[in-house]
Each structure stands twice: as structure tokens, then as C-alpha cells.
């Protein structure tokens, strides 16, 4: 696959539509190699600071047109996009596999989600922002709630789901009447560009869709601009905080943050083990552990710890790691880059330094390609150091650790000991145990007998504590794409009389 970058996109045009060499004029050049084959250069992208103004101007114009369309008209454009994204799903999947390093079978699920997300947003989210009327909210007065678009919105994406996450935010923002600027991760520009090409093919009015490449500098310029009325960010806690620092003085700017996780799974003593094992394997190691919802801590009841851990360890040892497109059905591909690889090994070392025992050590793997291939690892701690880096921080690699517990309260306390609160799950047949977990675990998602990964678009998706700022995505994303207006309508315009006023002089 040849990845030709077309530059930034504003006023319905790519800045370098033929992908001709334009790098000499760029202020920064980003070089991308395939994480599964580092001697394969995928592309070089130019970053143009002067395009910041152009995308914002374009999005401002686009907003003026788009906000005046009806929901039904916007739905028609989105359906057209849906058809195109469906037709191009294999191309998108291949790009995702090569850029992110996720196995092709997994990349296909992300590409397919782009299409289905359009339908769910139209069927399940749109109703949340349709005008509501309350008849006779006061005597002879009707009340209305009207949801207005915010304005030009800025969507900033992470590398691990370059298309799916931004797509969800973009579709909701558009349906609500906003124009958008999308800046993907600098590690996954080509997959994101393919998605923008689909919007372009769908023929959206000028300026409704805009796209810019760059790093934190470019993103910072746009988030801080007063014309941007919504910022929808998915990424790390550290960058989320920078965005808040950059925007907090602009009180009317909506900032929705979807951040990291340090997720726990509780395996109670009555767990049906053959069901829990595959669920947990996926939770810990899918996407090479690079999911915000990956399970990191496994709290296992003492009664079954030996049996459970030995079976989980045996399964983990069977995980096939391979090239995302050239190996036969690997479970895991490589990590995204050299820095991620270094962090993975560093974190496992912190685990050891902080007293955890290595049940499976992390290793650099030779799978026949020069890439960031590592083995999954498992740690165990009878008495974990709850203040240590290994427990507190997000690893974003194929690492998990077991901690045994006796009482469910103890397990819940450990699950709550991290600063994050994104996803948790509990495996049990005891509904009272589940109810306790639902009540007491501080987490935005709490699943029963199901892993922490693999959320649905039909429910809200977002975390508490350092995992977000209470603007969950998925079905409820659309709620943050609008401002709410309350209108009281007095139909009878003869009902007020000066004589009714108390305290007027004769
Ligand atoms: P990251 O925070 O390093 O980068 C995310 C995006 O922020 C990139 O596009 C980057 O260019 C941009 N950015 C960098 N500096 C910026 C600044 N100063 N202002 C604005 N934007 C800036 O994250 P990543 O490594 O790409 O992705 C992994 C992280 O994302 C993990 O922490 C993971 O948990 C999180 N994540 C969260 C969710 C969720 O829904 N909660 C989903 C996926 C990933």
C-alpha cells in the first residue's frame, strides 16, 4: 500500500492534493515508519503553521452554512459518508494495521465501526437533542428546550484508534450542527486522511470538515483560539491537563476529555473460570495492551488464585505475536514505537523494584521482522505497593498483575486505589457481590462477567477521577455538542395588564 499524504484540508480542498513533495516549505516534518517493520518508511508529513488560521477560518464559514440545515438534511450527508466509508473499509483497515501495528483482523473491526457508528448516532443519539416541548409548563405558557450547536469544534485524536474514536465525536458534532477541525495523532495521519477523503467524497458544504496535521504546538494554537467553541480530546491525562490550562479562561468553550485508565478486573471465587479466562486474555492483551480500557490489575479471590493464575499464565504463553499484515492471524502486533517499547520495559522494572514478582517476564521478540514486538508479561504481588508507579500509572503495554484478596471490600479498595476510574469488571455468579461493585467501584464503566474492553456505542463511555471530566462519549457524546436554550412561550399576548402590577404610583 502506497501512503500518499495530501496535506491539510480546508475549504473542501487538500493543501497538496497530489501529494507532491512539499516538505521543503514545511515548518516541521514528521517521519513515520511501520511499527511492525521499522525499515519500512510509510510517509513523511509536512506541518504548516500558517494552516492553523486557514482551518479556523474555513470552519467558521462552514459553521455558518451547516448550522442552518435541518437534522434531516445533515442526516442525508452523513448517510452518504457512511456509504463511502463502507466501500473503503478494507483500504482503511490496511492503513490502520500498518500505521498502528494492530493485526489486520482487528483493524477491520475498527474500520467497520466507522460505518455502524453513523447509524447508531442517528438512531440513538439524535433524539437526545431534538427540541422538547412541555405543554403548559406554567399556566397558559408552553416551555421548550432547544439545543443549539456550539460552533466550530476541534477534535484531537490518539494513536490507538485513529479513526473510530474521532469518527464518533465528529459524527455527533456534525449531526448537532457544528463544523469540525480534526487533528489526528501525528503517528497515524494516513488512516485519518482516508476518513477525511470519505467526507470529501460525500460532498459536505465548504468548510464543514477540516483537517490539520501537526504536534502539540499546532493543537495548542487551535484549542486556545477564541473562535473554537468545543474541544473534544481523547488521549493521555498529561495532555488533557495542558488543554485545560490552555482553555480555562474561555468559560464558554466546551472541553470534553476522554483520558487514560488503570483498569481492574475482580475474579470472585464463584467465577465460571472457562468463561472468565478468554474474556480476561482479551482485556489484558488485545491491541498489545494499548487500549484505554485494557485490564491492568486482576484481583483474584484467594480460594481460586492458584488454579486461575496457572491457567491464565498457560494461555498467555500461547499468544501469537506477529506482523500486523504479513503473519498468519497474530493475537498481538507490535507496540506503536520505540518510546512505547522502552516505557513498557521500564514499567515492568518498576513493578519488580516495587516488590512484584514476575510470573512472565517481558521480552523483546524476534518474529522475523524488525519491529517493536514484545511478549506479554504477568506480575504478581501478595501485598502490592499501592503508592508505586507500577500500580498508579497507565502502562499502555501488554502487562497485567495479579493481587489476591479475601474480602470483596479489600478488592474494591485496591481497584479504587489508583487515580484513574475508567473501566472495571467483576466475574461472579453472586448478584450481591456485583451490586457492591456497582455501588462502590469508582469507575465510568463496570461490567459483569465481561471484560473491560469492547464497549458499546449505545451506552455512554467515559471515566471518572483522572480518566475524564464528566463528558462521556459514545451515545451521550452528542449532549456535549450543543448548548441548551430554555424558551417560555406565551401564546396569549393579551394576558399581561399594567393593573396587575403591585407597587405602581397612581
Ligand atoms: P497523547 O495524549 O500523547 O496524544 C493525543 C493527541 O494529543 C495527539 O493527537 C497529540 O498530537 C495531541 N497533543 C499533544 N500535545 C497537545 C497539546 N499540548 N494540546 C492539544 N493536543 C495535544 O495520547 P496517545 O499516546 O496518542 O494515546 C494514548 C492515550 O490516550 C492513553 O492515555 C489512553 O488511555 C488514552 N485514550 C483514552 C481513550 C478514552 O476514550 N478514554 C481512548 C483511547 C486512548
Same domain assignment for residues 387 and 474: no
Q: What is the pLDDT of residue 353?
A: 96
Q: What is the 3-state secondary structure (H, E, C) of 314-376?
A: HHHHCCCECCCCCCCCCCECCCCCHHHHHHHHHHHHHHHHCCCEEEECCCECCCCCCCCCECC
Same domain assignment for residues 275 and 238: no
Helix axes 104-120, 164-175, angle to 10 degrees: 10
Same domain assignment for residues 47 and 179: yes
Distance 419 CA to ligand 1 centre (A): 17
Residue 506 within any structural domain of the chain: no
Same domain assignment for residues 304 and 347: yes
Q: What is the pLDDT of residues 203-246, one digit of tens each?
A: 999 999 999 999 999 999 999 999 999 999 999 999 999 999 99
- Mean pLDDT lowest among 99-113, 337-351, 491-505: 491-505
294: Cβ below 6 Å to ligand 1?
no
Give the residue from 135, 126, 139 showing the smallest Cα distance to 176: 126
Q: Which atom of ligand 1 is nearest to the CA of 473?
A: 40
pLDDT at 253 over 70: yes
Same domain assignment for residues 276 and 212: no
Nearest-angstrom CA–CA distance, 506 and 504: 6
Length of the chain: 506
Q: Which atom of ligand 1 is nearest to the CA of 186?
A: 11
Q: What is the pLDDT of residues 376-408, one digit of tens each?
A: 999 999 999 999 999 999 999 999 999 999 999
CATH of the domain at 436: 3.40.309.10
Number of domains in the chain: 2
Residue 114 within any structural domain of the chain: yes
Q: Looking up cell 455501588, which residue turns up?
A: 439
DSSP annotation of 468 reads B
pLDDT at 491 over 90: no
Nearest-angstrom CA–CA distance, 281 and 276: 9
Same domain assignment for residues 216 and 349: no
The cell for 145 is 428546550
Same domain assignment for residues 180 and 289: no
Q: What is the pLDDT of residue 21?
A: 65
Task: Using a pLDDT cut of 70, give the percent of the chain over it.
Answer: 100
Q: What is the pLDDT of residues 27-71, one digit of tens each?
A: 999 999 999 999 999 999 999 999 999 999 999 999 999 999 999
CATH of the domain at 174: 3.40.605.10
Query: Taking all residues of the chain, what is their mean pLDDT, rounded to a whole number?
Result: 97
Q: What is the pLDDT of residue 75?
A: 98
Nearest-angstrom CA–CA distance, 189 and 373: 22
3 state SS of 503: coil
Q: Going by CA atoms, what residue is nearest to atom 43 of ligand 1?
A: 292
What's the pTM?
Answer: 0.98
Q: What is the pLDDT of residues 362-383, one digit of tens each?
A: 999 999 999 999 999 999 999 9
Same domain assignment for residues 236 and 276: no
Task: Using a pLDDT cut of 90, give the percent of the chain over it.
Answer: 97
157: Cβ below 6 Å to ligand 1?
yes
Q: What is the pLDDT of residue 151?
A: 98
Contacts of residue 15, Cβ cutoff 8 Å, sequence gap at least 6: 6, 7, 8, 9, 22, 48, 51
Same domain assignment for residues 72 and 88: yes
pLDDT at 19 over 90: no
Mean pLDDT of 443-471: 97
414: Cβ below 6 Å to ligand 1?
no
Tell me the catalytic residues.
258, 292
Q: What is the pLDDT of residue 267?
A: 98
What is the domain range of residue 213?
9-256+468-487
341: Cβ below 6 Å to ligand 1?
no
Give the residue from 421, 358, 348, 427 showing the smallest Cα distance to 388: 348
- DSSP H or E run through 237: helix 237-247
Q: Going by CA atoms, what residue is nearest to atom 18 of ligand 1?
A: 216
Q: What is the pLDDT of residue 18?
A: 86
Same domain assignment for residues 65 and 17: yes
Q: Which atom of ligand 1 is nearest to the CA of 258?
A: 41
Q: Going by CA atoms, what residue is nearest to atom 20 of ligand 1?
A: 219
Q: What is the pLDDT of residue 20?
A: 73
Contacts of residue 326, Cβ cutoff 8 Å, sequence gap at least 6: 36, 369
Counting beta carbons within 10 angstroms of the beta carbon of residue 358, is it exposed (0 to 12), middle (13 to 18) or buried (19 or more)? Answer: middle
Nearest-angstrom CA–CA distance, 94 and 495: 67
Q: Rg for the chain (alpha carbons), in Å?
A: 25
Amino acid at each position: 500500500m502506497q501512503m500518499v499524504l495530501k496535506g491539510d484540508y480546508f475549504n473542501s480542498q487538500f493543501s497538496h492534493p497530489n501529494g507532491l513533495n512539499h516538505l521543503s516549505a514545511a515548518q516541521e516534518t514528521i517521519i513515520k515508519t511501520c511499527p511492525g517493520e521499522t525499515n519500512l518508511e510509510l510517509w513523511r508529513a509536512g506541518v504548516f503553521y500558517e494552516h492553523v488560521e486557514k482551518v479556523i477560518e474555513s470552519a467558521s464559514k462552514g459553521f455558518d452554512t451547516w448550522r442552518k440545515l435541518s437534522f434531516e438534511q445533515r442526516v442525508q450527508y452523513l448517510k452518504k459518508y457512511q456509504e463511502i466509508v463502507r466501500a473503503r473499509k478494507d483500504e482503511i483497515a490496511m492503513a490502520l494495521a500498518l500505521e498502528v501495528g494492530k493485526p489486520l483482523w482487528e483493524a477491520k473491526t475498527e474500520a467497520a465501526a466507522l460505518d455502524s457508528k453513523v447509524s447508531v448516532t442517528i438512531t440513538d443519539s439524535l433524539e437526545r437533542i431534538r427540541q422538547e416541548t412541555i405543554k403548559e409548563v406554567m399556566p397558559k405558557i408552553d416551555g421548550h428546550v432547544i439545543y443549539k450547536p456550539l460552533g466550530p469544534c476541534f477534535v484531537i485524536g490518539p494513536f490507538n484508534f485513529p479513526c473510530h474514536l474521532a469518527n464518533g465525536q465528529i459524527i455527533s458534532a456534525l449531526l448537532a450542527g457544528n463544523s469540525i477541525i480534526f487533528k489526528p495523532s501525528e503517528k497515524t495521519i494516513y488512516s485519518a486522511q482516508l476518513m477525511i477523503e470519505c467526507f470529501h467524497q460525500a460532498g459536505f458544504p465548504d468548510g464543514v470538515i477540516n483537517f490539520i496535521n501537526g504536534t502539540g504546538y499546532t493543537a495548542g494554537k487551535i484549542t486556545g483560539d477564541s473562535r473554537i467553541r468545543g474541544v473534544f480530546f481523547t488521549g493521555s491525562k498529561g495532555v488533557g491537563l495542558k488543554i485545560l490550562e490552555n482553555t480555562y479562561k474561555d468559560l464558554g468553550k466546551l472541553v470534553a476529555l476522554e483520558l487514560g485508565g488503570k483498569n481492574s478486573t475482580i475474579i470472585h471465587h464463584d467465577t465460571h473460570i472457562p468463561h472468565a479466562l478468554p474474556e480476561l486474555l482479551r482485556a489484558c492483551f488485545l491491541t498489545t495492551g494499548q487500549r484505554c480500557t485494557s485490564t491492568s490489575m486482576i484481583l483474584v479471590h484467594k480460594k481460586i488464585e492458584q488454579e486461575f493464575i496457572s491457567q491464565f499464565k498457560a494461555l498467555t504463553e500461547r499468544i501469537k505475536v506477529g506482523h500486523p499484515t504479513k503473519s498468519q492471524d497474530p493475537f498481538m502486533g507490535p507496540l506503536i514505537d520505540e518510546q512505547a517499547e522502552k516505557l513498557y520495559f521500564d514499567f515492568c522494572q518498576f513493578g519488580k523494584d516495587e516488590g512484584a514478582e514476575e510470573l512472565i517476564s517481558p521480552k523483546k521478540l524476534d518474529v522475523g521482522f524488525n519491529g517493536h514486538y514484545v511478549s506479554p508479561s504477568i506480575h504478581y504481588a501478595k501485598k502490592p505497593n499501592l503508592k508505586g508507579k507500577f500500580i498508579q500509572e497507565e502502562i499502555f503495554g501488554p502487562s497485567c498483575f495479579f493481587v489476591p484478596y479475601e474480602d470483596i471490600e479489600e478488592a474494591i479498595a485496591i481497584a479504587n486505589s489508583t487515580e484513574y476510574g475508567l473501566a472495571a469488571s467483576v466475574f461472579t455468579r453472586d448478584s450481591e457481590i456485583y451490586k457492591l461493585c456497582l455501588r462502590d467501584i469508582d469507575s465510568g464503566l463496570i461490567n459483569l462477567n465481561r471484560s473491560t474492553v469492547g464497549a458499546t456505542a449505545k451506552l455512554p463511555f467515559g471515566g471518572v477521577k483522572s480518566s475524564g471530566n464528566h463528558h462521556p462519549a459514545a451515545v451521550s457524546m452528542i449532549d456535549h455538542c450543543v448548548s441548551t436554550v430554555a424558551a417560555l412561550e406565551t401564546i396569549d399576548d393579551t394576558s399581561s395588564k399594567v393593573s396587575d402590577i403591585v407597587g405602581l404610583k397612581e
